[in-house]
Amino acid sequence: MIKKRLLASAIAMGSALAIAAPAMADDLGNYRDRFEPLPHFPPIPADNSLTPEQVELGKFLFFEPRISSSGVISCATCHNPALGWADRIPRATGHDGQIGERNTPTVLNSGFLESQFWDGREPDLEGQALGPIEADVEMAMDLDSALERLTEFDLYQEKFARAFPDDDDPINADNLAHSLASFQRTLNTPNSPFDRYLRGDMEALNEQEKDGMVAFVDNGCIACHSGPALTDSNFHRIQVPGSTDVGRYEVTGDEADMYRFRTPTLRNVAVTYPYMNTGATETLEESVAIMGKEMLGRELDEQTIDDITAFMHTLTGEMPALEIPALP
């Protein structure tokens, strides 16, 4: 179908011109224009420069279990690099085996999000970083004690001093948050098949995947899943069956925000199952069908669901090259 249309337009354009064109574009330019490829780095805030020293320190801290009260839970326990930087269980298990309320989102590409958490209660990664350390159901650690523990290690004395050379007393909460944020801004996954396609490699997607992209636009998924990370970072009403979570309402107290949740990124969505804020949905097919029903008020047919699912698989990018740090 696509090929036939292409041939027709090539003839219409005048064959000499069409043949001279280097990489024959398909005729889906109007669709491609609705998307943006993922840049290698997200925007870097003015008050936290992305220095190699901070990133290195942030990496150690991300894997450091001694900033939890049990001494066994690190950020990487739930945001596990081997599991798409998430945990592959419906809802996170934290301190003392407690099960939290919500599914663990991946931290991949989190620097591209304009709000953090399912309810968007933190605007940026700096604000986000200290939450899980103190949260009772996550790491359950008093921040001062966490900082005290780090101070006991020469290696952290050195690494904090190197990352924050202007501070007399560099092991503090701000610097902990800044370095965790900087590390996370390096966890990006460019060059997915879809990015290569958007940049002009017409072979990077097969016909079904292209049909999926078309269905994604034509059915209106792109209204919320837009921009480089395929999220508008905005809040939309969805009541996942069996859940009493009020979402954004908890943050604003505004009735209009009842059951609103932030649109999650769809980058790497094929490897970050299970889905939804409760983690109750196992497969992408199921999630796509739910989205059709709940967000768009339409029953998507099986072919459309399969095509969109195939398209979602093209959003898996190159995982960050990472050497696991050897902790002191």
198 counts as binding ligand HEC under rule CB under 6 A? no
Instruction: Tell me how far apart the alpha carbons of residues 143 and 155 are, in angstroms, rounded to a whole number.
Output: 19
| CA-to-CA separations, 185 to 108, 126, 165, 180, 247, in angstroms, rounded | 8, 11, 21, 9, 25
146 lines the binding site for ligand HEC (CB under 6 A):
no
Is 54 a residue that touches ligand HEC (CB under 6 A)?
A: no
What residues contact 168, with CB distance under 8 A and at least 6 apart?
none
User: Which residue of 288, 307, 310, 314 would you call a contact of ligand HEC, by CB under 6 A?
Assistant: 288
Peptide bond into 52 cis (omega under 30): no
- If the CB atoms of residues 144 and 201 are measured against ligand HEC, the closer one turns out to be 144
Which residue's CB is nearer to ligand HEC, number 75 or number 171?
A: 75
CA 3 to chain centre: 34
Q: How far is the CB of 297 from ligand HEC (least distance, A)?
A: 10
- 138 scored as a contact of ligand HEC (CB under 6 A): yes
Q: Does 275 bind ligand HEC (CB under 6 A)?
A: yes
Region of residue 117 (left: phi > 0; alpha: psi -120 to 50; beta: else): left
Closest CA to 103 of 232, 240, 305, 216: 240
The one among 187, 204, 217, 221 contacting ligand HEC by CB under 6 A: 221
Stretch that binds ligand HEC, among 3-11, 25-33, 290-298, 313-321 (CB under 6 A): 290-298
Q: Which residue has the tokens 């921009």?
A: 227
Q: Is 259 in the site for ligand HEC (CB under 6 A)?
A: no
List binders of ligand HEC among 300-319 (CB under 6 A). Answer: 308
Question: d(Cα 68, Cα 53) in Å, to the nearest integer?
Answer: 23
Binding residues among 103-122 for ligand HEC as defined by CB under 6 A: 104-105, 107, 110, 113, 116-118
Q: Which residues contact 31 (CB under 8 A, 6 or more apart)?
A: 213, 214, 217
User: To the nearest whole angstrom, how small is the minimum distance from the Cβ of residue 320 to ligand HEC?
Assistant: 14
Q: Which of residues 228-247 bind ligand HEC (CB under 6 A)?
A: 236, 238, 240
Scan for tokens 């701000």, then name that residue: 174
Tell me if 223 contacts ligand HEC by CB under 6 A.
yes
Q: Does 150 bind ligand HEC (CB under 6 A)?
A: no
Q: Is 292 in the site for ligand HEC (CB under 6 A)?
A: yes
Per CB under 6 A, 127 contacts ligand HEC: no
Range in contact with ligand HEC (rule: CB under 6 A) among 6-14, 19-27, 143-151, 267-275: 267-275
145 CA to centre of own chain: 30
Peptide bond into 274 cis (omega under 30): yes
Give the CA-trace dihedral at 181, 182, 186, 187, to 10 degrees. -20
Site for ligand HEC contains 147 (CB under 6 A): no
Least distance CB 38 / ligand HEC (angstroms): 15
> Could you tell me the sign of the dihedral formed by the alpha carbons of 295, 228, 108, 96, in that order?
negative
Tokens, residue 305 = 């669901």
Residues forming contacts to ligand HEC in the complex (CB under 6 A) are 73, 75, 77-79, 92, 94, 100, 102, 104-105, 107, 110, 113, 116-118, 125, 128-129, 132-133, 138-139, 180, 184, 216, 219-221, 223-225, 236, 238, 240, 261, 263-264, 266, 269, 272, 275-277, 284, 287-288, 291-292, 295-296, 308
